[in-house]
C-alpha cells in the first residue's frame, strides 16, 4: 500500500477499534485490522463465538438500538474508530448518530445507505447518472405490476424495493411466475419492504463484485471477487447469501476494469456528490458483464459476505489506515493497495436445510487443520455453557485459504474442510470451478 508515510501514520490514534456485526464478514475485518501494531484492542458488537479466537478481539453484548448505552460504552472504551458491518444499522442511521457524537465512523449515513435499502431509488440514481443497468419499471400496486408483466415480451425479474435479507429477488422463467412473485410481495410477504416493487429486464453474463472504499470524494478499489450465490453445485438451486468466493477474478482484465471505473464507479461517486451525499464507507458494486458491457445489478452499502472473508486475508497491516482515512475524508485517491502476491478462496459450510429451515445447536468438531495461509472465520456459531462450539446459523463457517494459484487454494480449503464436522454439514465442492484448472480437467 502506498500509505507509507510512517511519521503521519503514527499520529493516527487507532488503539481501540469497534466493529458492529456478528458474521464472518466482521470477523474477517477484525482479522485484517488486528495486523496493525497501532491497534491494541478490537471490540465486536456482538460478534460471535469465533470472534475471541482472533488476536486482540473481545465481544461486547449491548443493544445497539439503545443509542445512549452505545454512546456511553464507546466513550468508556475510548473508541478511536467504529466500523459498521451490516446494512440494517446503516439504513437506520447509526453512522449519522455516531458522527454527531464525534466518533470516526467507517460506514455511510442513512442517505448513502439508500443505495441498498431502496432498489427503486438506486435505479433512479443510476438513471440520473447515466450508469448502465437493466431497464426497469417501478410499481406501487399489483394492478400496475400486472400491466407491465403482461405487455413485456419476456419474463421480468421481480424485486422487493426494501431490505429483504437477500430473499427479495425473483428470477421467473414465465409470466405466470412473475405474477405469482408480484402477488406474494403485494400480499405482504416482505412487510413494508415490499410496498414498492421493481420490475427489471433480465440480463445475462458472468457476475463480479467490485468494492470501492470511499471517503466522500475519493475512492480506492479493493481486489475484485466473484461469489457463488446458488446452493448447489454447477451453480444450481436456490439463491443463498453466498456459498463461497474467490479473489481476484481473472475475468476482469484491465480493459474491462477501466471501463467499469469510467462508466460506473466514477459516475456513482460524482452522482453522490451531486446529491450532497457524503459517503464514507464501502460501496459494493454487484455487476454483470453482459455482451454490451458491464451493468450494475445492485449496490450494497457494506462489504459482501463471503467476498469480505476472501479479500481480507490479502490485505496488509495498513488496511486499517484506509478505513480511518475514509472515515476522515482523507484519502489522497492515489493509494494503491499492495495486496499479498497470492490469490484467495473461501468455501462456506452451512447447516442442512439452509437457506430455508435448518436446526442449530450441533457441536462443531475441528480436527488438525493446515493453518498456514488458511483461516476459519465463524459465520454462525455460539458456545454452550461448557465452552463447546455449536452451530448457530444457516451459514456456519467460512474456510479461507491463500496460495500461488486457485488449484492450490481450493485443494487446501477442501482438505481442511474434511477435518471439520457437525451434524448436517453441507458445502459445495466446486467453489471456484471457473478458475481451478485441475477441476476443469477432472470434471
Binding site for ligand AMP (CB under 6 A): 134, 157, 169, 171, 200, 202-203, 207, 229, 286, 297-298
DSSP string spanning 139-171? Answer: ESSHHHHHHHHHH-SSPPEEEESS--TT--EE-
Largest CA distance in the chain: 64
Question: 346, 398 in Cβ contact below 8 A?
Answer: yes
Q: How far is the CB of 118 from ligand AMP (least distance, A)?
A: 12
Q: How far is the CB of 199 from ligand AMP (least distance, A)?
A: 10
What does the angle CA 224 – CA 118 – CA 142 come to, to the nearest 5 degrees?
125
Q: How far is the CB of 134 from ligand AMP (least distance, A)?
A: 4
Which residue, 52 or 177, is less far from ligand AMP as judged by CB? Answer: 177
With cell 487443520, the residue in question is 369
Q: Where are the beta strands (DSSP E) in 291-330?
A: 293-300
Which residue, 207 or 411, is less far from ligand AMP as judged by CB? Answer: 207
Q: How far is the CB of 162 from ligand AMP (least distance, A)?
A: 12
Q: How far is the CB of 286 from ligand AMP (least distance, A)?
A: 5
Q: How far is the CB of 202 from ligand AMP (least distance, A)?
A: 4
Q: For residue 268, give the C-alpha cell.
A: 456513482
Minimal CA–CA distance to 70: which of 43, 49, 50, 41?
Answer: 43
Kindly list the distances between the CA atom of residue 339 and the CA atoms of 162, 247, 335, 408, in Å, as whole numbers in the listed order.
35, 11, 12, 18
Question: 160, 185 in Cβ contact below 8 A?
Answer: yes
Which residue, 14 or 134, is less far from ligand AMP as judged by CB? Answer: 134
Q: How far is the CB of 136 from ligand AMP (least distance, A)?
A: 8
Which residue, 44 or 297, is less far from ligand AMP as judged by CB? Answer: 297
Q: How far is the CB of 10 from ligand AMP (least distance, A)?
A: 41
Which residue, 134 or 397, is less far from ligand AMP as judged by CB? Answer: 134
Question: Three-state SS for 244?
Answer: strand
Which residue, 89 or 162, is less far from ligand AMP as judged by CB? Answer: 162
Which residue, 218 or 229, is less far from ligand AMP as judged by CB? Answer: 229
Q: How far is the CB of 83 from ligand AMP (least distance, A)?
A: 23
Which residue, 49 or 264, is less far from ligand AMP as judged by CB? Answer: 264
Alpha-carbon span 118 to 102, nearest angstrom: 28
Q: How far is the CB of 173 from ligand AMP (least distance, A)?
A: 12
Which residue, 4 or 154, is less far from ligand AMP as judged by CB? Answer: 154
Minimal CA–CA distance to 363: which of 303, 299, 420?
Answer: 420
Alpha-carbon span 30 to 14, nearest angstrom: 13
Alpha-carbon span 39 to 9, nearest angstrom: 12
| Strand pairing class (395-403; 343-350) | antiparallel
Burial-class residue 309 by CB neighbours within 10 Å (0-12, 13-18, 19+): buried
Q: How far is the CB of 334 from ligand AMP (least distance, A)?
A: 31
Question: Three-state SS for 42?
Answer: strand
Please measure the distance between the N-terminal and C-terminal CA atoms of the chain and give it in whole angstroms: 39
Which residue, 25 or 99, is less far from ligand AMP as judged by CB? Answer: 25
The torsion of the CA quartet 406, 408, 410, 411, rounded to 10 degrees, works out to 150
Alpha-carbon span 219 to 329, nearest angstrom: 10
Which residue, 229 or 412, is less far from ligand AMP as judged by CB? Answer: 229
Question: Three-state SS for 433?
Answer: helix
Amino acid at each position: 500500500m502506498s500509505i507509507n508515510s510512517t511519521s503521519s501514520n503514527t499520529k493516527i490514534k487507532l488503539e481501540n477499534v469497534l466493529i458492529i456485526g456478528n458474521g464472518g464478514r466482521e470477523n474477517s475485518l477484525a482479522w485484517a485490522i488486528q495486523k496493525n501494531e497501532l491497534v491494541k484492542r478490537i471490540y465486536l458488537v456482538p460478534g460471535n463465538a469465533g470472534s475471541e479466537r482472533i488476536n486482540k478481539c473481545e465481544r461486547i453484548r449491548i443493544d445497539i438500538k439503545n443509542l445512549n448505552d452505545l454512546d456511553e460504552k464507546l466513550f468508556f472504551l475510548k473508541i478511536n474508530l467504529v466500523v459498521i458491518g451490516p446494512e440494517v444499522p446503516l439504513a437506520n442511521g447509526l453512522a449519522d448518530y455516531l458522527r454527531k457524537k464525534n466518533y470516526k465512523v467507517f460506514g455511510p449515513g442513512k442517505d448513502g445507505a439508500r443505495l441498498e435499502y431502496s432498489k427503486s431509488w438506486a435505479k433512479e440514481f443510476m438513471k440520473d447518472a447515466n450508469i448502465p443497468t437493466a431497464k426497469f419499471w417501478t410499481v406501487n400496486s399489483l394492478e400496475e405490476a400486472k400491466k407491465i408483466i403482461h405487455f413485456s415480451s419476456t419474463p421480468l425479474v421481480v424485486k422487493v424495493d426494501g431490505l429483504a435479507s437477500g430473499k427479495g429477488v425473483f428470477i421467473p422463467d414465465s409470466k405466470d411466475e412473475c405474477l405469482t412473485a408480484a402477488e406474494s410481495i403485494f400480499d405482504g410477504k416482505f412487510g413494508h419492504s415490499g410496498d414498492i416493487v421493481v420490475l427489471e429486464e433480465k440480463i445475462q453474463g458472468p457476475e463480479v463484485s467490485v468494492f470501492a472504499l470511499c471517503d466522500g470524494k475519493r475512492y480506492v478499489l479493493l481486489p475484485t471477487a466473484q461469489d457463488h450465490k446458488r446452493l448447489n453445485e454447477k451453480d444450481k438451486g436456490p439463491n443463498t447469501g453466498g456459498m463461497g468466493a474467490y479473489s481476484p477474478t481473472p475475468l476482469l482484465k484491465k480493459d474491462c476494469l477501466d471501463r467499469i471505473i469510467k462508466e460506473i464507479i466514477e459516475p456513482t461517486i460524482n452522482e453522490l456528490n451531486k446529491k450532497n451525499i457524503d459517503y464514507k464507507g464501502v460501496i459494493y458494486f454487484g455487476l454483470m458483464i453482459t455482451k454490451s458491457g458491464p451493468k450494475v445489478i445492485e449496490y450494497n452499502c457494506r462489504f459482501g459476505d463471503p467476498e469480505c472473508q476472501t479479500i481480507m486475508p490479502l490485505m496488509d497491516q495498513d488496511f486499517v489506515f484506509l478505513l480511518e482515512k475514509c472515515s476522515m475524508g482523507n484519502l489522497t485517491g492515489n493509494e494503491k493497495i499492495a495486496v499479498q502476491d497470492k490469490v484467495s478462496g473461501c468455501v462456506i459450510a452451512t447447516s442442512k436445510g439452509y437457506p430455508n429451515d435448518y436446526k442449530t445447536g450441533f457441536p462443531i468438531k475441528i480436527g488438525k487443520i493446515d493453518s498456514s495461509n488458511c483461516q476459519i472465520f465463524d459465520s454462525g456459531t455460539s458456545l454452550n455453557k461448557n465452552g463447546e462450539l455449536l452451530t448457530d446459523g444457516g451459514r456456519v463457517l467460512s474456510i479461507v485459504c491463500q496460495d500461488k494459484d486457485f488449484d492450490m487454494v481450493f485443494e487446501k480449503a477442501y482438505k481442511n474442510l474434511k477435518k471439520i464436522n457437525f451434524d448436517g454439514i453441507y458445502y459445495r465442492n466446486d467453489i471456484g470451478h471457473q478458475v481451478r484448472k485441475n477441476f476443469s480437467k477432472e470434471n
